[in-house]
Amino acid sequence: MVAGAGGFIASDLSAFGGTRSAEEIRDAITKPSNANRQGGKMVVTTRGGQHYAGVARNEDNFSIQLQTLDGAFHLFLKSELEGFARQLDSLMPSDYSSTLNAAELNDLVSFLMQATKTGAALSKKSERDDEDQDEDE
């Protein structure tokens, strides 16, 4: 997701390019499993043998709330599961280094770097609009 648009399963990338070099962004895209990511993939197995994979949105000592890739939320009581485990691999596809050509990869890196600037500009505009609205009231 960037600036409120896009997917829902992964992190908001609106500010991602503002704190990283072009090379760091390129590496995050082409080698996603190398990045230290919070909320990586979790796999849950029910006692009935069903497997669910997604992102743990909530977890405590007794339960796990998992959001699967289709956006559905599933609540599991840990005591009723066969097992659950966090996976080291990323939810992000790992083949972008072979499926994107150099120009496409450069465009994506540029987009992520520009998104930070665009997001900051939109945020400032929104603040000004809010101030203008307060003055009108």
Based on the fold, state whether residues 43 and 82 are members of the same structural domain: yes
Q: Which domain holds residue 45?
A: 38-89
- Where does the chain have alpha helices with state H? 22-30, 96-99, 102-136
pLDDT confidence band for 121 (50 / 70 / 90): very low
Based on the fold, state whether residues 84 and 42 are members of the same structural domain: yes
Give the residue, 136 or 123, on which the prediction is more confident: 136
Distance between CA atoms of 9 and 24, rounded to whole angstroms?
A: 22
Cβ-contact 111, 100 below 8 angstroms: no
Based on the fold, state whether residues 46 and 74 are members of the same structural domain: yes
pLDDT in tens, 60-71: 999 999 999 898
Domain count, the chain: 2
pLDDT in tens, 78-112: 999 999 998 877 778 888 989 999 999 999 999 99
- The two tokens of residue 44 are 């849950």
| CATH number, position 50 | 2.30.30.100
Based on the fold, state whether residues 62 and 74 are members of the same structural domain: yes
